[in-house]
Amino acid sequence: MNKLGPKQSSYDKILLMYSGGLDTSCMLKWLQETYNAQIYTFTADLGQEFADPSRFREIEEKAYNLGAVKHYTVDLKEIFVKEYIFPTIKANGLYQGIYPLSTAVGRPLIGIEAVKIAKKEGIEVVAHGCTGKGNDQIRLNTTIKAYAPEIEVLQPMIEWNMGRDEEIKYAQQRNIPIANQNKKYSTDENLFGRSAECDILEHPEIEPPEDSKEWSTRPEDAPDKPEYITINFEKGNPVGLNGENMDGVSLIRQVHKIGCKHGIGRIEHMEDRAIGLKSRETYEVPAALIIIKAHKDLEKYVCTKHENSFKSIVDQRWTELAYDGMWVDPLRDALEAFINEINKKVTGSVKVKLFKGNAQVVARESSYGIYDLNLATYETKSSFDQRLSYGFIPLFGLQSRMGFITKKKLEENEKE
């Protein structure tokens, strides 16, 4: 019979995906003690430290202090933006119409990079800090096992069965530094957003307290004057802000900053996890929300009604696949072939008004817009021949009228 969980009781080398937080710091020690292994550590830079770039040096130092034999910090910002965030924008990726996948699309990239490091160092076991209850474990494990079936993935959070209180005791006994601000929330950050869960946030009947937010201004404290920004798109990718061309990382950072100031993108969500649990999640995703909103508007402007209707079905399917951690599934390539075809004409600009927590598209321009002022105008000069309505409506409404008459007949018969 196949045993679930670790295959061996000791290992030579383990690569640990290390964030520097309490869980993975305890893990660094625990893996050495439990499996008698040499621990390599890896921290992915997905732009999570908006405020403090020196944080990565601290994480590295901490890893070595806790006994890591070699630490990797890998800057993945550019590839994250180009190959993960831009496709999310082109798919208008809002899970259940609300959550812009900020954590979800980062995980496969981290998994792929972990495989690269493991192969380079001849490591066959990878460990990460996910619990057995969330989505991130699915995203990491599925990607890693697809790229390297020979690699074993360990989840110490499942194995050690320590509660938060026991973890803190474990950390104190082994001189593992515990952050001075007693972190109540489990958070995840990258360029595209910040998520926070746990503690009081687990009570969906209570509004998320202000201390669960770190990035953005409360809408009620945001400036009393609206601010307008214009985002330029080329083939569905955001390429410029207020007329200035910009690389993706800088553009997202700029929009993030302006969005935070106006209290945009503070989301609370009763979410359906892939694993089947319903959970209360909260996010700060200013840049993601503003850019996706703008993209969706421009796309709608240049596409036909039929394209728009089908695109929303494809978008939803793509979004669920990404959320569920099936990044490697070939269905994604097929859906993206369609998404990219549609996005060939999503070139132009969108003006967004930001005001007290609200981002509203107020204008758009594109040379591919399927809008003709001559046809649409209510002025007398319009070239639209209104008399065509006399022929069009009887045909367009034919089946619905017939259906209505049949329904009435049925109701009469039921009365008798």
Binding site for ligand ARG (CB under 6 A): 103-104, 135-136, 186-188, 195, 197, 271, 281
The H or E element that residue 388 is part of is: none
Q: How far is the CB of 323 from ligand ARG (least distance, A)?
A: 7
Q: How far is CA 329 from the centre of its chain?
A: 18
Between 24 and 217, CB nearer to ligand ARG: 24
Q: How far is the CB of 94 from ligand ARG (least distance, A)?
A: 12
Considering 186, 199, 273, 382, which one is annotated as catalytic? Answer: 186
Contact 102, 189 (CB under 8 A): no
Would strands 266-272 and 237-241 be described as parallel, antiparallel, or unpaired?
Answer: unpaired
Q: How far is the CB of 406 from ligand ARG (least distance, A)?
A: 47
Query: 47: closest CA among 187, 191, 189?
Result: 191
**Residues near 347 by beta carbon (within 8 Å), at least 6 away in sequence:** 233, 234, 235, 302, 366, 367, 368
Between 90 and 139, CB nearer to ligand ARG: 139
Handedness of CA 396, 402, 408, 410 (dihedral sign): negative
CA dihedral (154, 159, 160, 163) in degrees, to 10, reads 110
Considering 19, 25, 102, 107, which one is annotated as catalytic? Answer: 107
Between 194 and 296, CB nearer to ligand ARG: 194
Between 7 and 203, CB nearer to ligand ARG: 203
CA–CA separation, 75 and 79 (whole Å): 9
Considering 136, 297, 315, 324, which one is annotated as catalytic? Answer: 136
Contact 80, 106 (CB under 8 A): yes
Q: Determine whether 107 is an active site residue.
A: yes
Q: Determine whether 273 is an active site residue.
A: no
Q: How far is the CB of 271 from ligand ARG (least distance, A)?
A: 6
Between 129 and 348, CB nearer to ligand ARG: 129
Output the six-digit token pair for 218: 């409360």
Q: How far is the CB of 146 from ligand ARG (least distance, A)?
A: 19
The H or E element that residue 237 is part of is: strand 237-241
Active site residues: 23, 107, 136, 186
